Amino acid sequence: MLKIIWLENIKIAFQSILANKMRSLLTMLGVIIGISSVISIVSIGDSMKGVMDDIYKDFGENRAVLYVGNIEDFRSTDFFYHEDIDLLKERFKEKLLYICPSESIRSDVVQSRSNVKLRMELIDGGYDKVQKVKMLYGRMINSSDIDRKSKVIVLEQNAALKLFGKDNVVGQTIRVKIDNNMEDLLIVGVYKKEQSPVLTLLQGQNMYEDSYIPYSMPYSNNYGFYALDIFVAGKYSMGLVGDEIKNYIAKMKNRTPENYTYYTVEEEQTQVNSIVTGMSVAVAAIAAISLLVGGIGIMNIMLVSVTERTREIGIKKALGARTRDVLFQFLIESATLSALGGIVGTVTGIGLVMLGGYFISIPIVVNPASIILAVAFAMIIGIFFGYYPAKKAANSDPIDALRYE
């Protein structure tokens, strides 16, 4: 039964909002600006997080890079030699899934008439266990390749296509230049590189085609590597294992742990998250102020509206409107006004972010919860700031109201 009044009140609210279009719009402006800035900043934050998460996932969340940290004071013995790597492998057998020099060799490859710039990444057997590698043909580099220092290579599909005009090239050989020597490498496999489009975008134009070779093959045993690529087993803490490795290697090399740097995405992720969170807090504060101003605008215009409609309120009371009927009428009107502002603000905010996202081609994340929250919050503002004017209208004496000119 009460529904009748609700429905009528919503109709009345829309009528009076539409009757003063310009005024309603100006009143809503505060809420529109507040809500649209909240929505856009929240979704910029979410989108940024999304992009960063994609990048971290590509890199590997349990991945770390250990490198010689102190460039100003280093000795050739600080580098990682094959024997060091073997020692580390043995010592951290359980805690590390994978450890391998982090290095790649670039070479021009000429095959028939095509010239391709090839980037050969040094990997260990089992790389495909820690990173997703989609094999198209043949096999991946395995541990016997490492042991035997096999002259083999696994090409990325595009490299194969550019060199041979087809991608099934297992069994063919290519000639590459490694350490100033020309080497013939047997192609044992072809894979397809799968990378998030964001990362591709951020890396920009890549002139080199990708491939994998056994890390033991290119250099002699007295070659020192600058950095190591490490994957930590899931149940161990990235940080603690890092400290252990640094301590171990420092002791081995007669150095301090500060001579080595251990980099993980976890740290970076924490940093980015704290930036995003900090930004959100700052924006929330600004939004709160603009919504407060918007709310005061609504209160102001509702007071004007109540005064203008004093006589109407008197008539309605004379005809049987109770205090709460009048209260609800005006509360619904201010809630409708601010909810409309919230909806317009949400649409504007999303529109702006999508437009921006379109121009820098970054996927935009819009959290549906934030939309619902924004509109609900706008409505609450309307009810909160509309309460005083509505109460004033509801409590007016019908005789005074009828006499009002």
Site string for another protein, 314-343 (x = CB under 8 A): xxxxxxxxxxxx------------------
Asked if residue 23 binds another protein (CB under 8 A), the reply is: no
Which residue number, 255 or 316, has a Cβ lying nearer to another protein? Answer: 316
Which residue number, 25 or 315, has a Cβ lying nearer to another protein? Answer: 315
Q: Are 185 and 151 within 8 A, CB to CB?
A: yes
Which residue number, 134 or 324, has a Cβ lying nearer to another protein? Answer: 324
Asked if residue 5 binds another protein (CB under 8 A), the reply is: yes
Candidates 8-16, 47-55, 89-97, 365-373; binding stretch for another protein (CB under 8 A)? 8-16
Asked if residue 402 binds another protein (CB under 8 A), the reply is: yes
Shortest spacing between CB 306 and another protein, in angstroms: 15
Shortest spacing between CB 348 and another protein, in angstroms: 29
Which residue number, 4 or 71, has a Cβ lying nearer to another protein? Answer: 4
- Distance separating alpha carbons of residues 29 and 26, to the nearest angstrom: 5
Shortest spacing between CB 12 and another protein, in angstroms: 8
Q: Provide the token pair at 307.
A: 């005064």
- Distance separating alpha carbons of residues 372 and 353, to the nearest angstrom: 17
Site string for another protein, 108-147 (x = CB under 8 A): ----------------------------------------
How would you classify the pairing of strands 173-178 and 114-123?
Answer: unpaired
Which residue number, 214 or 314, has a Cβ lying nearer to another protein? Answer: 314
Residue from 50, 304, 398, 404 binding another protein (CB under 8 A): 398
Length of the chain: 405
Which residue number, 287 or 394, has a Cβ lying nearer to another protein? Answer: 394
Amino acid at position 341, single letter: G
Residue from 77, 311, 358, 372 binding another protein (CB under 8 A): 311
Shortest spacing between CB 24 and another protein, in angstroms: 14
Which residue number, 4 or 207, has a Cβ lying nearer to another protein? Answer: 4
Q: Residue holding tokens 């994978």?
A: 98
Asked if residue 1 binds another protein (CB under 8 A), the reply is: yes
| Per-residue H/E/C for the chain | CHHHHHHHHHHHHHHHHHHCHHHHHHHHHHHHHHHHHHHHHHHHHHHHHHHHHHHHHHHCCCEEEEEECCCCCCCHHHCECHHHHHHHHHHCCCCEEEEEECCEEEEEEEECCEEEEEEEEEECCCHHHHCCCEEEEECCCCHHHHHHCCCEEEEEHHHHHHHHCCCCCCCCEEEEEECCEEEEEEEEEEEECCCCHHHHHHHCCCCCEEEEEECCCCCCCCCCECEEEEEECCCCCHHHHHHHHHHHHHHHHCCCHHHEEEEEHHHHHHHHHHHHHHHHHHHHHHHHHHHHHHHHHHHHHHHHHHHHCHHHHHHHHHCCCCHHHHHHHHHHHHHHHHHHHHHHHHHHHHHHHHHHHHHCCCCCCCCHHHHHHHHHHHHHHHHHHHHHHHHHHHCCCHHHHHHCC
Shortest spacing between CB 398 and another protein, in angstroms: 5
Asked if residue 15 binds another protein (CB under 8 A), the reply is: yes
- Distance separating alpha carbons of residues 238 and 63, to the nearest angstrom: 8
Binding residues for another protein, rule CB under 8 A, total: 25
Asked if residue 22 binds another protein (CB under 8 A), the reply is: no
What are the C-alpha distances in Å from 10 to residues 301, 303, 332?
18, 19, 6
How would you classify the pairing of strands 152-156 and 181-192?
Answer: parallel
Candidates 87-95, 188-196, 284-292, 394-402; binding stretch for another protein (CB under 8 A)? 394-402
Candidates 198-206, 254-262, 306-314, 345-353; binding stretch for another protein (CB under 8 A)? 306-314
Residue from 186, 284, 296, 399 binding another protein (CB under 8 A): 399
Which residue number, 15 or 271, has a Cβ lying nearer to another protein? Answer: 15
Asked if residue 24 binds another protein (CB under 8 A), the reply is: no
Shortest spacing between CB 341 and another protein, in angstroms: 22
Which residue number, 129 or 403, has a Cβ lying nearer to another protein? Answer: 403
Shortest spacing between CB 2 and another protein, in angstroms: 8
Shortest spacing between CB 8 and another protein, in angstroms: 5
- Give the binding site for another protein (CB under 8 A): 1-2, 4-5, 8, 15-16, 19, 311-312, 314-325, 398-399, 402
